[in-house]
C-alpha cells in the first residue's frame, strides 16, 4: 500500500532536473568554493565582537538569544552570502528584540511556509497528474513535466534570499535531546517555533547531494536487476524444482515465494533451496553468471553452472561495494549537518526522532520475550518438525473468511459502480465508522477522488485552500473487493491528512510524526471494510491469528534491523574498509544477532539469513522504520479498539508533528512500547493451537 504524504513527495528529488541543474551549476559552485571552510571565514573572534556589540545595542536581557542566533547563523553563512560586514549588518538589521514583532514575524512566516509547502505539493500533484490519474494514454511530454521539481531548489533559495538566516537569527534550533527533555513543558507555539527553526539544520552543497543521489541510484539499479531464474536451479539430484518462467527478484520475490510454499504440497525442498540461494547471495559465493540470466542452469549445492563457454566465478562482492558507495556518499555530507554529524544520527535523531538506544531496546524487548519463544514452539508444533532458519517467514497464521472473493466482488461492484459513487458515499462510509454527520460532510468536502492508474494512493494537501486526493482504481463493471479494500486504506490516510492540516492550531505542526502514525489509521479503516459493506464478521480466532502473525513478523524485521544498524556502526568504525571486509563484517554481525536472539527460538547456530534484505543495500538504514512502525501502529490500534474511532482519531490527529514519543503519550497515555503487542500475543497463545 503506497501512500503519498506531502513530506514524501517533497523529498522525492527529481532525478533528471537535479542532475541537469547540478551539472550546469557545478562550475559556478566550484569557483565560489563549496567546501566547509566557507563557514569558518567568520572566525570566532569576529563572532564574539558581533555578539558584544549587539548586546550593547539590544541590552543584556537579550544576551542568550543574541548568542544563539549569531552562532546559528555562523554555521551556515558562506562566502557567497556576503562579507563579514554584510553578516554583521544583517544581524543588526534583523535581530528582533520586541516580543510583539517576534510574534507577528512568526505568524507571517507560518503563513509563508504553509504557502510554500502547500503550493509545491499542488504543483507537484498537477505535474504528475497524467502519470498517476487515468486520463487515457500517457504522452511523452507527461514524463517530462513529471520530472520538473521546484522543491529540490527551495532550501538553497531560502538561504540565498536570507529567509533562512532571519529564522536562524531569531529562533532556536533545538536538537532531539532538547525536544525530548523540554518538549513536554513547551506550549504549542514553542513547538511550532521549534519546527520552524528545524527547517534549517543543514546546508548541503549540491555536488555532495548529487553524489548521494548517484550512490542510491546505482544501488537501486543493482538491486532492481538482481533476479534469479528459478527454473534454472538444480537440486542435488539434478532436478528442476520450480516452474518455467518463474523469475524472482532478491530478496522480496525469493522471500514471498518461500512464504507461498507453506501452502503447497511438497514445499519443504523448495523452501530449503531458496534459503540456500539467499545464503549464497549474502556470502557472494553465487556464480555471477546466474544473476539475471535465464540461460544458465545452476546446481545450487555444489555451485556448478551448466552452459556453453561460461565461467563459474563468484560475484565479486558487488553487493557490498554498492553499500560502501552509499556509505561514502552519506559520510561526505556529515560536515554539513552540525547538529547531526553522522548518517546514523540523521536517521534516528532527525528523520525518526526516536533515539537509537530506545529503538534498539524495543527490538531487544521483543526478541527476548517469552511470547516470541512460545510462538516459536507453537509454530514447531503446527509444522510438526524442528524449525529451520527460513521459518522466520512462517506463513500459517491465517484465518478463513465467511464470504469468498467472488461473493465480495459482487457486493462491492453493485454498491460502487464507479469512482463518482465512491466519492458521493464518503459521508455515509464515515458515518458507519462513527463520525457524526457534520464531521463526515466536512471531511467529504476536503477529499477528492480520482481514478488511479495504479492500485491506489492517498495524497494530502499542504495548505488549507487545497484538498486531499484519494486515488483508486475502478475497472469497467464496477469496483472489486480488493480495490475497495485498498480504497478504504487510502481513505484512512486522507482523513488523517485532513484533520491534521485543517483542524490543527499551527500549520507548522501539520501532519503526524512519521508514516507509522498515518499507517495506523489507514489500517484501521481498511480492517473495517466489511462493516462498511454491511457484513458483520466477528471471528475471534482471526484476531488471535493476526496477533501471532504480527509478533512473528515484527520479530523477524527487528532482527534484520539490528543487523542493518550494526553494519552502519561498523562502517563508521572502519571507513576505509574494502567491500570484502564489509562482507565479512556483515556476515559476522548477522551471525551474532542470530545467535543472540534467534538461535534460542529457532536453533541453527551461525545462520546468516538476517543479512539478506535488499533495503540494507539501497535504502540507507531505513529498515528499523518497519518494526518501529508496526509497534506504534499496534499500540494505536489496540487503544482505539473499544473506543469511538472518529473522536479518538480527530483528537490524536490534532497533536500534529511533535516527537513520536510525546505524541503517543498524549494519544494513548503511555510511551512507545511493545507491551500491547506482547499482551495480545499472550492472549492469543492461550487459544491458538
Ligand atoms: Zn498506507
Average pLDDT over residues 139-155: 87
Q: Can you give the pLDDT at residue 473?
A: 87
**Residue located via cell numbers 491528512:** 497
Distance (angstroms) between ligand 1 centre and the Cα of 199 equals: 25
Distance (angstroms) between ligand 1 centre and the Cα of 384 equals: 36
Residue 219, all three cell numbers? 544501488
Contact 681, 547 (CB under 8 A): yes
Residues whose CB falls within 8 Å of the CB of residue 462, separated by 6 or more in sequence, listed in order: 6, 114, 117, 118, 119, 120, 121, 122, 501, 510
**497 or 19: whose pLDDT is higher?**
497
% of residues, the chain, pLDDT over 70: 94
Distance CA 606, CA 174 (A): 43
pLDDT tens figures, 195-204: 999 999 999 9
Distance (angstroms) between ligand 1 centre and the Cα of 334 equals: 32
Report the range out of 4-8, 273-277, 517-521 with the highest average pLDDT: 273-277
pLDDT tens figures, 204-246: 998 899 899 899 989 999 998 999 999 999 999 999 999 998 9
Distance (angstroms) between ligand 1 centre and the Cα of 116 equals: 25
pLDDT confidence of 3, banded at 50, 70, 90? very low
**11 or 403: whose pLDDT is higher?**
403
pLDDT tens figures, 555-566: 999 999 999 999
For ligand 1, a single-atom ion, which residues have Cβ within 5 Å?
1, 3, 522
Distance CA 452, CA 448 (A): 12
Q: Can you give the pLDDT at residue 537?
A: 66
Specify the long-range contacts of residues 112-115, CB closer than 8 Å, at least 24 apart: 112/163, 113/196, 113/199, 113/507, 113/508, 114/462, 114/463, 114/464, 114/507, 114/510, 115/463
pTM: 0.88
Distance CA 511, CA 147 (A): 25
Strands 456-459 and 468-472: antiparallel
Distance (angstroms) between ligand 1 centre and the Cα of 458 equals: 8
Residues whose CB falls within 8 Å of the CB of residue 25, separated by 6 or more in sequence, listed in order: 206
pLDDT tens figures, 88-110: 999 999 999 999 999 999 999 99
Contact 428, 564 (CB under 8 A): no
Distance (angstroms) between ligand 1 centre and the Cα of 493 equals: 7
Q: Can you give the pLDDT at residue 312?
A: 87
Distance (angstroms) between ligand 1 centre and the Cα of 2 equals: 5
**Burial letters for 325-350: b for 16+ Cβ neighbours within 10 Å, e otherwise?**
bbbebbebbbebbbbbebbbbbbbbb
Query: Residue 1 pLDDT > 50, yes or no?
Result: no
Distance (angstroms) between ligand 1 centre and the Cα of 357 equals: 27
Distance (angstroms) between ligand 1 centre and the Cα of 355 equals: 24
Distance (angstroms) between ligand 1 centre and the Cα of 625 equals: 14
Q: Can you give the pLDDT at residue 560?
A: 97
pLDDT tens figures, 108-142: 999 999 999 999 999 999 999 999 999 999 999 99
Distance (angstroms) between ligand 1 centre and the Cα of 483 equals: 14
CA–CA distances in Å: residue 582 to residues 325, 565, 577, 589: 12, 14, 7, 10
What is the number of residues in the chain? 689
pLDDT tens figures, 363-381: 999 999 999 999 999 999 9
pLDDT tens figures, 280-331: 999 999 999 999 999 999 999 999 999 888 888 999 999 999 999 999 999 9
CA Rg, the chain, in Å?
27
Contact 563, 338 (CB under 8 A): no
Distance (angstroms) between ligand 1 centre and the Cα of 497 equals: 12
Query: Residue 539 pLDDT > 80, yes or no?
Result: no
Chain-wide mean pLDDT for the chain? 91
% of residues, the chain, pLDDT over 90: 80
CA–CA distances in Å: residue 564 to residues 191, 382, 625: 32, 31, 11
pLDDT tens figures, 242-280: 999 899 999 989 999 999 999 888 899 999 999 999 999
Neighbours of 595 (CB within 10 A): 14
Distance (angstroms) between ligand 1 centre and the Cα of 428 equals: 22
Query: Residue 6 pLDDT > 50, yes or no?
Result: no
Amino acid at each position: 500500500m503506497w501512500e503519498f504524504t506531502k513530506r514524501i513527495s517533497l523529498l522525492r528529488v527529481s532525478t533528471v532536473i537535479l542532475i541537469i541543474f547540478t551539472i550546469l551549476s557545478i562550475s559556478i559552485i566550484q569557483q565560489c568554493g563549496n567546501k566547509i571552510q566557507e563557514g569558518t571565514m567568520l572566525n570566532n573572534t569576529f563572532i564574539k565582537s558581533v555578539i558584544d556589540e549587539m548586546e550593547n545595542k539590544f541590552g543584556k536581557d537579550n544576551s542568550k538569544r543574541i548568542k544563539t542566533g549569531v552562532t546559528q547563523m555562523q554555521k551556515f553563512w558562506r562566502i557567497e552570502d556576503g562579507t563579514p560586514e554584510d553578516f554583521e549588518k544583517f544581524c543588526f538589521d534583523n535581530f528582533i528584540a520586541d516580543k510583539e514583532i517576534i510574534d507577528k514575524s512568526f505568524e507571517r512566516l507560518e503563513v509563508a511556509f504553509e504557502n510554500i509547502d502547500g503550493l509545491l505539493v499542488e504543483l507537484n500533484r498537477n505535474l504528475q497528474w497524467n502519470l498517476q490519474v487515468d486520463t487515457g494514454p500517457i504522452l511523452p511530454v507527461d514524463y517530462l513535466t513529471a520530472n520538473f521539481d521546484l522543491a529540490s531548489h527551495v532550501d538553497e533559495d531560502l538561504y540565498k534570499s536570507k529567509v533562512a538566516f532571519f529564522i536562524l537569527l531569531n529562533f532556536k534550533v533545538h536538537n532531539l535531546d532538547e525536544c525530548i527533555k523540554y518538549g513536554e513543558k513547551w506550549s504549542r507555539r514553542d513547538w511550532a517555533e521549534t519546527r520552524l527553526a528545524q527547517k534549517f539544520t543543514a546546508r548541503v552543497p549540491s555536488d555532495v547531494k548529487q553524489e548521494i543521489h548517484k550512490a542510491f541510484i546505482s544501488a537501486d539499479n543493482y538491486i532492481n536487476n538482481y533476479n534469479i531464474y528459478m527454473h534454472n536451479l538444480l537440486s542435488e539430484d539434478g532436478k528442476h524444482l520450480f516452474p518455467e518462467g518463474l523469475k524472482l527478484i532478491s530478496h522480496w520475490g525469493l522471500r514471498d515465494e518461500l512464504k507461498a510454499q507453506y501452502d503447497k504440497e511438497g514445499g519443504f525442498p523448495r523452501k530449503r533451496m531458496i534459503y540456500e540461494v539467499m545464503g549464497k547471495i549474502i556470502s557472494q559465493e553465487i556464480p555471477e553468471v546466474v544473476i539475471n540470466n535465464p540461460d544458465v542452469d545452476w546446481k545450487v549445492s555444489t555451485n556448478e553452472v551448466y552452459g556453453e563457454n561460461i565461467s563459474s566465478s563468484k560475484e565479486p562482492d558487488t553487493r557490498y561495494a554498492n553499500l560502501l558507495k552509499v556509505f561514502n556518499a552519506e559520510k561526505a555530507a556529515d560536515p554539513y549537518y552540525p547538529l547531526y554529524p553522522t548518517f546514523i544520527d540523521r536517521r534516528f535523531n532527525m528523520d525518526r526522532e526516536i533515539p537509537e538506544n530506545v529503538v534498539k531496546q524495543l527490538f531487544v524487548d521483543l526478541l527476548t520475550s517469552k511470547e516470541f519463544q512460545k510462538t516459536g514452539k507453537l509454530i514447531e508444533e503446527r509444522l510438526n518438525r524442528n524449525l529451520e532458519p527460513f521459518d522466520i517467514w512462517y506463513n500459517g497464521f491465517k484465518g478463513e473468511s465467511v464470504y469468498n472473493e467472488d461473493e465480495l466482488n459482487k457486493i462491492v461492484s453493485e454498491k460502487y459502480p464507479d469512482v463518482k459513487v465512491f466519492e458521493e458515499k464518503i459521508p455515509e462510509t464515515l458515518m458507519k465508522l462513527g463520525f457524526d454527520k457534520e464531521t463526515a460532510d466536512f471531511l467529504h468536502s476536503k477529499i477528492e477522488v480520482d481514478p488511479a492508474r495504479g492500485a491506489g494512493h492517498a495524497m494530502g494537501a499542504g495548505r488549507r485552500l487545497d484538498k486531499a486526493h484519494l486515488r483508486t482504481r475502478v475497472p469497467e463493471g464496477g469496483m472489486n473487493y480488493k480495490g475497495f479494500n485498498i480504497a478504504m486504506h487510502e481513505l484512512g490516510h486522507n482523513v488523517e491528512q485532513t484533520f491534521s492540516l485543517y483542524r490543527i492550531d499551527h500549520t507548522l505542526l501539520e501532519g503526524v510524526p512519521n508514516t507509522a502514525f498515518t499507517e495506523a489509521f489507514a489500517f484501521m479503516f481498511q480492517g473495517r471494510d466489511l462493516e462498511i459493506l454491511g457484513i458483520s464478521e466477528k471471528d475471534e480466532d482471526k484476531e488471535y491469528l493476526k496477533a501471532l502473525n504480527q509478533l512473528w513478523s515484527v520479530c523477524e524485521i527487528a532482527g534484520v534491523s539490528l543487523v542493518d544498524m550494526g553494519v552502519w556502526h561498523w562502517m563508521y568504525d572502519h571507513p576505509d574498509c574494502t567491500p570484502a571486509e564489509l562482507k565479512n563484517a556483515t556476515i559476522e554481525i548477522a551471525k551474532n544477532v542470530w545467535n543472540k536472539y534467534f538461535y534460542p527460538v529457532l536453533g541453527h547456530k551461525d545462520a546468516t539469513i538476517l543479512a539478506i534484505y535488499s533495503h540494507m543495500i539501497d535504502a540507507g538504514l531505513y529498515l528499523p522504520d518497519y518494526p518501529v512502525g508496526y509497534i506504534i501502529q499496534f499500540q494505536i490500534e489496540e487503544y482505539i479498539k473499544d473506543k469511538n474511532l472518529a473522536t479518538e482519531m480527530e483528537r490524536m490527529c490534532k497533536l500534529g508533528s511533535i516527537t513520536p514519543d510525546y505524541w503517543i503519550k498524549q494519544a494513548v497515555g503511555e510511551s512507545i512500547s511493545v507491551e500491547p503487542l506482547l499482551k495480545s500475543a499472550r492472549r492469543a497463545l492461550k487459544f491458538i493451537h
